[in-house]
């Protein structure tokens, strides 16, 4: 990708986001008391200013892209990933691991959930040391549990099934 196309893309996204904020998000989700007479002191003023500035930066990015002299790609940019679609699959799998972690944390407890998350990530990253990964997947969460629960006094979620001392 070149700086020109990157700025064009970012500029369009920033401008649309600014419009979304001004027309929908700020009026709907920022509440101001009805007795605030002066707009400068209203809770909506600052978000409106930031939305306006975002719009200006977005338009500047578009202008910058339109007037850029060169369309050369970034030097350190990879054209096509050698593994094809595999990286996207791994990104998707990691997103699923994170979502499952969020759902499992209150039910399974932090220790068991993080053990599973550790093992899943290590295999997703195609570790060359599967046995060491499994050992670490068990030991690291237990050590962190011991520190946070017994030294720092944090109420680490225990889950509904197996409770640790």
Partner 1 sequence: MSLMDSLAAGLSLVGNVEAFLMLFIGLVVGVVAGAIPGLSATMAVALTLPFTFAMTPINAILLLLGVYKGGIFGGSIPAILIKTPGTPASSATILDGHPMAERGEAGRALGMALYASCTADAVSNLALILFAGWLASFALNFGPPEFFALILFSLTIIAGVSGESLLRGALSALAGLLLATIGLDLVYGTNRFTFGDPNMMGGLNFIAVLIGLFAIPEIIAMAWNPVAHLGRTRALGKSRCTFADYAKSFKSIIRGSLIGVFLGSIPGIGAAPSAFLSYSEARRTSKNKANFGKGEIEGVAASEAGNNGVAGATLIPLLALGVPGDVITAIIIGAFMVHGLQPGPMMFILNVDIIYGLFIGLIVSSVFLLVVGSVAIRGFRFVADVPKRILMPGVLVLCIYGVFAVNNNIFDVGVMFVMGWVGYIMMRNRIPAAPFLIAFILGPLLEDNFRQSMLMSGSDPSILFRGPITWFFWALTAITVFAITRSTLRKTVPLS
Site residues (CB under 8 A) for partner 1, limited to 52-81 = 53-54, 57-58, 60-61, 64, 67-70, 74, 81
User: Among 77, 53, 81, which residue's Cα sits nearest to residue 4?
Assistant: 77
Residue 111 beta carbon to partner 1: minimum distance, rounded to whole angstroms: 9
User: Among 64, 46, 59, which residue's Cα sits nearest to residue 17?
Assistant: 59
29 binds partner 1 (CB under 8 A): yes
Q: How far is residue 113's CA from residue 51's CA, in Å, rounded to a whole number?
A: 39
Binding string to partner 1 for residues 120 to 159, with x set by CB under 8 A, is what? -xx-xxxxxx--xx--xx--xx--xx-xx--xxxxxxx--
Q: Residue 38 or residue 79: which is nearer to partner 1 going by CB?
A: 38
34 binds partner 1 (CB under 8 A): no
Dihedral, CA of residue 51, residue 53, residue 59 and residue 64, to nearest 10: -140
């Amino acid at each position: 990708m070149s700086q020109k196309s990157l700025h064009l893309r970012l500029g369009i996204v920033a401008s649309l986001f600014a419009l979304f904020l001004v027309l929908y998000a700020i009026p709907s989700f920022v509440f101001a008391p009805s007795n605030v007479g002066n707009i400068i002191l209203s809770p909506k003023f600052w978000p409106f200013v930031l939305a306006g500035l975002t719009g200006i930066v977005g338009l500047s990015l578009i202008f910058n892209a339109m007037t850029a002299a060169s369309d050369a790609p970034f030097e350190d940019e990879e054209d096509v990933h050698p593994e094809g679609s595999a990286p996207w699959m791994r990104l998707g799998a990691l997103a699923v691991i994170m979502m499952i972690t969020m759902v499992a944390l209150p039910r399974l407890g932090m220790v068991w959930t993080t053990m599973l998350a550790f093992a899943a990530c290590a295999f997703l990253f195609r570790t060359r040391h599967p046995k060491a990964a499994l050992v670490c997947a068990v030991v690291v969460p237990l050590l962190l549990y011991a520190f946070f629960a017994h030294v720092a006094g944090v109420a680490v979620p225990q889950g509904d099934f197996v409770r640790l001392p």
